[in-house]
Amino acid sequence: MAASAFNAIRRLGVWKDTIHVGTLESDQTGRLRFTYLDSVLHRPELAVSVRMPMRRTPWEDAEAMVCFENLLPEGDIRSHIAQATHLASKDVSGLLGVIGGECAGALTLWPDMMEPPEPPRYESCSSQSLGELFATANTQHALLQQRTRQAMSGAQDKVVLFKQPDTADRYLLPLDGAPGTVLCKRDRGRFPGLVHNELAGMSLMEAAGVPTAAYSVNALDATVYETTRFDRVVDDTGRVRRLHAEDGCQISGYTSVAKYADPRGPSYQSIMAALRRYSADAITDGERLLRWAIANIIIGNRDAHAKNISILHDLDGTIRLAPAYDVICTLVYPIETMLPLPFGGHRRTTGFTPAMWRVVAREFSVTASYAREIADDVITRVRTHLDDVLQRTVTVAGPHDVLARVGDTVKVECAHFRTTLAE
């Protein structure tokens, strides 16, 4: 039997916020297996994933890999951490043993014989230390990540901080897997104006009628983008509690490498199917997903992949689509222009035609005329608010030439998308 053939060479303890829920094992080949502790089998709300409900039998590699691999950063960041820790990039349990203390959602992973420090540890964070956090070269950044044990997914350098409640500019650096409340990203050389771009992108998404995570610049350093984590709440004692969140790859059963894959990756149909199954209000969330998809297209975001959408489990266990995050007009940079999730059956907007709405209707389980109505509304809203958004971004973050390019791109994308609405 598969279960008995599994020869574990590494074990990690898995906690959901502060509760020890199970053990993640890996074998020599890197296959994973996850087993719930007997002590939590009667508590379905402590499941590590909607796809891995409580059961005594271990969850094998196919499910465990999807749940846990998606917690790791991707691309270059994963490679740098792997290099600095002498692990292979594909060694999921090895990497999570080093940096899996503070992840997206409520899971925190610890090597055998270790436990999350109680209470969690923090150190003060000044504007100078924030500068140093981001100024470090790649290998040093990997070392910092070992000290903080932060494994936020995504492909950009980022730091999670604890913004002290009721203060405008007091932050702490979470150490050793301590939970934080804000996620900070900085500009990178390859993508000039990324911070301005994301501020404007998020603001346009909000204008399109999609709930977004709170976004701003960091109060210590206005060149750093900051978003408030929707998967964290501060309780009455001032302690940060983790809510569980799972991204579109996790809920539709794909590892992170599939995020750009078609047809062997997530699709709007597979995310819609997951929403129908798990969301407490699948109709509203389905429409929100459609609105999000359309808004991303006209904002010029060609990086709206399945990891940039999540579900959020509330404290009472209710599941809803999470607020939008990571909205950037990528068309202003010389990178891939294909849509990561096919829309109306197309991966290139140049292929869009009025006939595609029949396909969109199937993808999102709505009528074609309703989908077109939503599109019309999203375009109108984005176009109406565009100038204000760009102006407000300058007020928040100062001027940057990227904003004019974002503005021009959004105008062109809106006009092109509108042609598909012609009768």
307 binds ligand ADP (CB under 6 A): yes
Per-residue binding string, ligand ADP, 179-208, x by CB under 6 A, is ----x-------------------------
Min dist CB 292 to ligand ADP, Å, is: 14
Distance CA 99, CA 96 (A): 5
* Footprint (CB under 5 A) of Mg ion, residues 151-170: 154
Using the rule CB under 6 A, give the single segment among 7-15, 116-124, 199-207, 228-236 that binds ligand ADP.
228-236
49 binds Mg ion (CB under 5 A): no
73 binds Mg ion (CB under 5 A): no
102 binds ligand ADP (CB under 6 A): no
Other C-beta atoms closer than 10 Å to the C-beta of 39 total 12
63 binds ligand ADP (CB under 6 A): no
Other C-beta atoms closer than 10 Å to the C-beta of 41 total 14
301 binds ligand ADP (CB under 6 A): no
Nearest CB to ligand ADP, comparing residues 156 and 252 = 156
Nearest CB to ligand ADP, comparing residues 309 and 379 = 309
Distance CA 159, CA 363 (A): 35
155 binds ligand ADP (CB under 6 A): yes
Distance CA 69, CA 65 (A): 5
Nearest CB to ligand ADP, comparing residues 25 and 285 = 285
Min dist CB 305 to ligand ADP, Å, is: 9
* Footprint (CB under 6 A) of ligand ADP, residues 337-366: none
User: Which one of Mg ion, ligand ADP, none is in contact with 100 (Cβ closer than 5 to 8 A by kind)?
Assistant: none
308 binds Mg ion (CB under 5 A): yes
Nearest CB to Mg ion, comparing residues 218 and 308 = 308
Give the position of tokens 């959602």: 105
Give the residues lining the site for Mg ion (CB under 5 A). Answer: 154, 308, 326
Chain contacts with ligand ADP (rule: CB under 6 A): 104, 152-156, 183, 213, 227-231, 247, 307-308, 310, 325-326
